[in-house]
Every structure is written in structure tokens, then in C-alpha cells.
């Protein structure tokens, strides 16, 4: 099989290995892609996906799959007929999924695919569903470039993580392409959406196909074969060893989206969802499409329009496909059936109840979503199933991680915010959690995973939040440049009624979050609490100096990362009189420049400031004016 798979293509190179006699029996101008990586095949299952077949096929031809093998069962809308026609045109391979008693449709299709010549003779295979679309960021967005990069690292597989896309608030049915309608998704950091699918070099003798990843056959586990397997994650980093044997989702150490992701459009619009709910699903799961499922899958926190890169090529392919009169007739008939069915559903009380239920489900904040696995994880059962080889490899990897943790590491400031630009214009349902005197949102669009964990526990940036109100001078004017979400400033204002606080943050996303934090925390604008929109331009030192001159702060907090050490060495000696009694370097500035602030500290000492050694250098750099008698004497 392996030799046959690697044979050079013959003069009939446009005919895939293993194709059925029906394939390509109708001459058609559009031909299958010829990849430099051989036969690259997608295996999928469909039931009544008629309105979406053309787009799914066109998209994955545009991505660069050479072959599409699709299994259908119990179709009533012509999905199977469309795929049969696509096989006649030489662009797809249709297979019947005749389901044995007691077997679910999806496992049944995979059992057939295991013996399917097109899949077995392919060089690369990926199994994924009809509501999943591959989205490649690497290179030109095609599998040709992605597989070139994968093979350049000596890898023979890439583990692609889901990105869950929601309805985007769309209720009504539309004929517009799925990948163009729905551009709002779950944050990349949301681990409940980290299921995977695997693109890999398939050899049926070594692997059994699975919906998330293939399973290595037992006879090879205790050989040297596992050492020949190297899979990458979606950012091109090597996967951990355990994933050669088991696992169906990414974890924090393995997740990656920089190269490729699998866009999962499980819900689409409310109308599409209603049709699917009343139709059944490819895996015959009872009541799968309920409100809980909608809450899980209707994620619209972050805009991701990467798919639009495929629009010109996809639209051109759709137009070419619909030039075939048979395919055109079947496509429009499938759409008409769906719209007729929807018209019937809209007359029922069940439809209107569903719309109301889904509206409530959409209001569930991301932090409250519970995603339970189909079967609860049983550690003892998993351990019993693991081979000795897997256990040894797992123990070795665990020991290596422990040793790595023992190695002395340089303490680093905590990174609180995700890299920008942040897209937070949508005011989504959000949990706000009390942290000191501030309510912070559990917003995956803004905060890092570590920061979200701290927020959930009420411990965000707690050292400075606890100590800063204690050391702030009496009746002080406070200015923070680069305030981020405004946590420290709002906490000061809510804790110390004698302070006058001004917060400056010009990043549009963070400034919007700052305003929401103020609203949630009961902090309105007044003569003692203000927000400044004055920007730091090309000359950050001069602009910061102008802002400081205008505000005359007694407590100056510098958190903007543009205030680099060389900027500070120009800014600090030129501070207007009276100079601040307390200067704090914190936040994103500290994250960016913590290794290079020694000279700044020496400069401040020369200007008459003394360091506050009660703060760890990675928490904040704090300096008191040496003759400041008010420091540490907050009002009772």
C-alpha cells in the first residue's frame, strides 16, 4: 500500500487513485487540484445539507484539497444527488453510508472510510464535518503552502483546533455564504472550544480513522513506529508525545491558531438552527440541538474575518459549479425545500418558542458556559486502557516537565492584557466580578487566561490594589498614563474619597472596557474622577510632560509601554514643579521594559526619590520623594 501510495502520477494524473468508475464520467471544465504533496483528501459525512453543499465543496477546493469523499445517509433534500453529480463531474467522491443496526451514522461512515480506496491511497487525509470549514492563515492560505511548512519541520501531521463561530445575532434565513455571513467567534483563549481535527499522512495499516484524530493500531504501539510520528499544532509547534496515542482536544500547552484553524459553524442563524433541530443530525443524538447547545456554540465575542481571503476564489468556483445545469437544478431545489420547510415551521408555536428560548440562551455569558464531555472522564479506565509504552512515555514527559519547573526562572511581571488591537465594540452578556472595590469583566477578548483566573477569584493585581491606597498621599491628585481597564485608578477612587483621579488610555478597545468597568463599579465622572483622551503622539516624552503639567499629579502612575526607558530618561528630569510625591511604574510598561529599568531607578534616586522595597520588582516599581512627609499616611 505504501509503495502504491508514493508512485509517481501517470499520464492520467487528474484521476485520483482509488476513484470509482462513476468519477469524471461527465466532461466538465473545472478540474480537481493537483497538489505538489500528492493526494490530499477530506473525508466527511452529510445528511440534508443541500443548501450548503456547493459552498462547502467550493471552499475546500479553493483551500487546496485534491479530493473530497462524502458519506450520506437518509437524505431527503437531494444532498446525495448533488454529491453524485459532483462525482460524475470529477470533483468529489460520493459514498452511501448504509448503517448497520446499533451503529451511529458517524462511526459507520468512518468504518467504511477505513477501507475506502480513495482515502487509503491518499498521501494526506483529514476527517471533518459539513459544518466545519478549514481556514489557513499560513502563507497564501492554501494546503500547498501549509503542508510545505509542515514537511519542512519533518512532520507528518498537523492537529487543527476548532474555532467556534456563532450566529452573530442573525435570526432570519439567508442564501449568503456561511463563511461570509458569520464572522464573530469565540476567543482563541476559550478552552471549551478546543476540540481538534487532524490532517495527517494516512496509512490504513497503521491507523484507524477517527472523527477527531486517528487511532494508532495496537500492534504498532510497542514498536519504533511511534518515534516516526511527529505532529504539529495549529501554530506549527510540535505536539506533545501523548497525543500520538490519545486525546481529542487541545490543552493550554498545545493549542495554537497562528497557522490554521477549523471554523465550526454549528448553529448559523436561528432559522437554520430551527430547520436542523427539526431534521435530526448525522449522529442521531437525541435532543442535541437544545438551548444549552446553542449557548455553547453561539459564541460571538471576537471578530475573525480571515475567511474573507477565500471569497474571490470561492465565488468563482461556485459560479463554475452552477454552470452545470444538473447541479444548478439540484442546488436550487435544495434551497427551495429548506425555505418551504422554514415557512411551515414559522406557522408553529414550537418555532416561536424556539426563537424565544434561543434569545435567552444567547444571553448566557461566556464564563457561565458548561461544556460537558459525552462521557465523564474516568481516569482509572483511561489508565487501564493505556499500553505500557504510553505509560512510560507519559511518565517520562511528566518527569521532564517537573524538571523544567525546578530550573530557576527569572521572575516576570504578569501579563494582564491580550495583544491588541482589541475588538470589544459589542457589549456582550458578561459576568462582572468584584476585585477589591472594582467590578471587572470576565472578558476573554481582553484579559489573558492568567488574568481571567485572578479576576474570577477576586485577586486581580491584588498586591498593588491593596497597598496603593495605603501609601497614596492625602488629598492627592492622581494621574495614570496608560490605565488599561482602569483597575488601579477606579480602585483608588472608590477606596479613597479624598483623591482626585484622572485616567488616560488611548487604546480604543481598552478605553471602552475602562468605561464599562467604571459603569459596573459605580464610578461616574465627576470633579474628582476624570478620563483623559489626550494621546501620546510621536514624541511620547513631550506629550506625557504636557499631560503631567496639566494635571499636576501628586501620585503619578506610568503604565503605557510607549514610555520606554529612553523616553523616561527625558521625561522624568523635566517634570514640572511641584514634582509628584510618588511615582509608580506598572502594568504594560513594566511587562515591556522590566529588564531595562535600572537606569531609570538610578535617575530617580538622583532626583531625590527613594525606592519602596516592599514591592517586588515584577509587581511594581515605586519611588517616594525623599522629603515627602505625607507618604504612607492615608486618611482613616
Clarify whether residues 296 and 445 are in a common domain.
Answer: no
CATH label of the domain that carries residue 462: 3.40.50.150
Residues 458 and 363 both lie in one domain: no
Domain boundary among 367, 383, 414: 367
- Give the pairing type, strands 621-625 and 582-585: antiparallel
In a domain, 380, yes or no: no
* Position 4 confidence tier, pLDDT thresholds 50, 70, 90: very low
- Residue 5 maps to a domain: no
Q: What pTM did the predictor assign?
A: 0.84
Beta carbons of 584 and 468 less than 8 angstroms apart: yes
What mean pLDDT is predicted for residues 412-437? 91
pLDDT tens-digit map of 45-58: 999 999 999 999 99
- Residues 55-71: what's their mean pLDDT? 98
The pLDDT, as a whole number, for residue 388 is 64
- Give the domain extent around 598: 432-625
Classify residue 419: in a domain, yes or no.
no
- Which helix or strand (DSSP H or E) is residue 477 part of? strand 477-481
**Same domain for 604 and 486:** yes
d(CA 68, CA 44): 8
pLDDT band at 336 (very low <50, low <70, confident <90, very high): very high
Contact present, 182 and 267 (Cβ < 8 Å): no
Best CA proximity match to 570, nearest among 603, 618, 522? 603
Residue 622 clears pLDDT 90, i.e. is over it: yes
The count of structural domains within the chain is 2
Q: At residue 321, does pLDDT exceed 70?
A: yes
Kindly state the helix (H) or strand (E) to which residue 87 belongs, with its residue range.
helix 79-88
- What local confidence, expressed as pLDDT, does residue 392 receive? 64
One domain for residues 448 and 594 = yes
Determine, yes or no, domain membership for 150: yes
The predicted structure's pLDDT at residue 624: 97
Q: Is the pLDDT of residue 10 over 70?
A: no
Report residue 76: phi and psi, to 5°.
Answer: -125, 0
Measuring CA to CA, which residue among 367, 225, 218, 358 is closest to residue 292? 358
Look at residue 251 and tell me if it is in a domain: yes
pLDDT > 50? residue 90 = yes
**pLDDT of 109 strictly over 60:** yes
- Residue 263's φ and ψ, nearest 5 degrees, are -75, 125
442 — pLDDT class (breaks 50, 70, 90): very high
Single residue among 340, 367, 394 that ends a domain in this structure = 367
How far apart (Å, rounded) are the C-alpha atoms in residues 178 and 166?
11
Looking at the structure, tell me whether residues 210 and 354 fall in a common domain: yes
Decide if pLDDT at 3 tops 70: no
Alpha-carbon distance of 53 to 91, in angstroms, equals: 12
Averaged pLDDT for residues 592-602: 95
pLDDT at 414 over 50: yes
Does residue 7 lie in a domain region?
Answer: no
Alpha-helical segments (H) within 483-617: 487-495, 508-520, 540-551, 565-571, 587-593, 598-606
- Taking the alpha carbons at both ends of the chain, their separation in whole angstroms is 82
Q: What is the pLDDT averaged over residues 114-130?
A: 98
Count the Cβ atoms, other than its own, within 10 Å of residue 280. Answer: 16
- Are 436 and 358 found together in one domain? no
Same domain, 609 and 463: yes
Is pLDDT of 415 > 80?
yes
Q: How confident is the model at residue 375 (pLDDT cuts 50, 70, 90)?
A: low
Q: What is the pLDDT of residues 545-578, one digit of tens each?
A: 999 999 999 999 999 999 999 999 999 999 989 9
Q: Give pLDDT tens digits for 237-291.
A: 999 988 998 889 999 999 999 999 999 999 999 999 999 887 644 444 555 667 8
Q: 332 and 196 share a domain?
A: yes
pLDDT at 420: 80
Please report, for the chain, how many H helices and E strands are present, in that order.
23, 22
| 335 and 480 assigned to the same domain | no
Are residues 238 and 119 part of one domain?
Answer: yes
Could you tell me if 360 and 496 lie in one domain? Answer: no
Bridge partners (DSSP) of residue 125 are 41, 200
Q: Domain boundary residue among 313, 342, 367?
A: 367
Considering the domain architecture, whether residues 357 and 438 belong to the same structural domain is answered as: no
pLDDT for res 53: 98
519 occurs within a structural domain? yes
Residue 82 inside a domain? The answer is yes
- What is the average pLDDT score of the chain? 91
Amino acid at each position: 500500500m505504501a509503495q502504491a501510495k508514493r508512485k509517481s502520477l501517470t499520464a492520467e494524473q487528474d484521476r485520483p487513485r482509488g476513484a470509482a468508475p462513476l468519477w469524471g464520467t461527465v466532461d466538465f471544465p473545472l478540474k480537481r487540484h493537483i497538489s505538489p504533496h500528492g493526494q490530499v483528501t477530506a473525508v466527511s459525512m452529510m445528511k440534508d445539507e443541500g443548501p450548503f453543499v456547493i459552498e462547502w465543496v467550493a471552499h475546500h477546493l479553493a483551500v487546496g484539497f485534491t479530493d473530497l469523499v462524502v458519506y450520506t445517509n437518509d437524505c431527503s433534500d437531494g444532498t446525495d444527488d448533488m454529491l453524485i453529480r459532483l462525482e460524475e463531474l470529477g470533483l468529489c467522491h460520493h459514498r452511501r453510508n448504509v448503517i448497520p443496526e446499533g451503529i451511529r451514522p458517524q462511526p459507520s461512515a468512518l468504518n467504511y472510510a477505513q477501507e475506502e480506496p480513495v482515502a487509503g491511497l491518499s498521501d494526506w487525509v483529514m476527517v471533518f464535518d459539513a459544518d466545519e470549514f478549514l481556514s489557513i492563515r499560513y502563507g497564501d492560505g492554501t494546503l500547498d503552502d501549509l503542508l510545505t511548512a509542515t514537511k519542512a519541520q519533518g512532520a507528518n501531521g498537523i492537529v487543527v483546533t476548532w474555532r467556534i463561530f456563532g450566529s452573530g445575532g442573525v435570526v432570519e434565513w439567508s442564501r449568503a455564504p456561511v463563511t461570509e455571513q458569520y464572522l464573530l467567534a469565540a476567543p482563541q483563549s476559550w478552552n471549551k472550544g478546543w476540540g481538534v481535527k487532524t490532517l495527517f499522512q494516512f496509512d490504513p495499516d497503521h491507523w484507524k480513522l477517527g472523527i477527531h484524530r486517528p487511532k494508532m493500531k495496537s500492534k504498532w504501539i510497542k514498536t519504533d513506529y511511534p518515534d516516526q510520528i511527529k505532529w504539529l499544532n495549529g501554530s506549527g509547534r510540535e505536539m506533545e508525545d501523548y497525543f500520538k496515542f490519545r486525546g481529542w482536544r487541545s490543552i493550554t500547552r498545545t493549542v495554537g491558531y497562528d497557522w490554521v484553524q477549523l471554523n465550526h459553524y454549528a448553529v448559523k442563524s436561528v432559522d437554520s438552527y430551527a430547520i436542523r433541530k427539526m431534521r435530526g443530525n448525522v449522529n442521531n443524538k437525541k435532543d442535541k440541538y437544545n438551548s444549552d447547545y446553542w449557548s455553547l456554540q453561539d459564541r460571538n465575542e471576537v471578530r475573525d474575518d480571515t475567511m474573507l481571503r477565500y471569497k474571490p476564489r470561492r465565488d468563482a468556483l461556485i459560479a463554475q459549479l452552477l454552470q452545470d445545469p444538473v447541479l444548478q437544478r439540484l442546488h436550487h431545489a435544495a434551497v427551495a425545500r429548506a425555505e418551504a420547510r422554514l415557512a411551515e415551521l414559522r406557522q408553529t408555536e414550537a418555532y416561536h418558542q424556539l426563537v424565544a428560548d434561543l434569545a435567552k440562551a444567547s444571553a448566557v455569558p461566556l464564563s457561565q458556559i458548561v461544556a460537558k464531555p459525552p462521557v465523564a472522564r474516568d481516569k482509572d479506565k483511561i489508565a487501564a486502557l493505556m499500553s505500557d509504552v504510553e505509560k512510560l512515555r507519559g511518565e517520562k514527559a511528566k518527569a521532564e516537565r517537573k524538571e523544567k519547573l525546578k530550573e530557576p526562572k527569572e521572575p516576570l511581571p504578569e501579563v494582564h492584557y491580550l495583544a491588541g488591537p482589541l475588538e470589544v465594540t459589542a457589549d456582550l452578556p458578561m459576568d462582572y466580578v468584584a476585585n477589591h472595590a472594582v467590578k471587572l469583566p470576565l472578558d476573554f477578548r481582553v484579559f489573558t487566561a492568567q488574568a481571567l483566573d485572578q479576576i474570577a477569584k477576586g485577586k486581580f493585581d491584588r498586591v498593588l490594589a491593596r497597598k496603593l491606597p495605603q501609601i497614596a498621599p492625602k488629598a492627592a491628585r492622581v494621574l495614570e498614563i496608560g490605565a488599561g481597564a482602569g483597575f488601579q485608578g477606579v480602585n483608588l477612587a472608590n477606596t479613597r474619597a479624598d483623591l482626585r483621579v484622572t485616567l488616560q488610555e488611548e487604546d480604543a478597545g481598552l478605553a471602552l472596557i475602562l468605561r464599562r468597568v467604571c459603569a459596573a463599579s459605580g464610578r461616574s465622572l465627576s470633579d474628582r474622577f476624570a478620563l483623559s483622551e489626550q494621546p501620546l503622539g510621536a514624541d511620547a516624552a513631550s506629550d506625557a510632560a504636557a499631560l503631567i503639567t496639566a494635571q499636576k499629579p501628586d501620585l503619578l502612575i506610568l503604565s503605557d509601554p510607549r514610555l520606554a526607558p529612553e523616553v523616561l530618561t527625558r521625561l522624568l528630569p523635566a517634570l514640572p514643579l511641584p514634582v509628584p510625591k510618588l511615582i509608580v511604574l506598572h502594568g504594560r510598561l513594566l511587562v515591556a521594559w522590566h529588564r531595562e529599568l535600572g537606569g531609570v531607578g538610578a535617575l530617580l534616586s538622583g532626583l531625590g526619590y527613594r525606592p519602596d522595597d516592599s514591592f517586588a520588582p515584577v509587581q511594581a516599581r515605586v519611588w517616594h520623594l525623599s522629603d515627602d512627609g505625607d507618604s504612607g499616611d492615608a486618611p482613616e
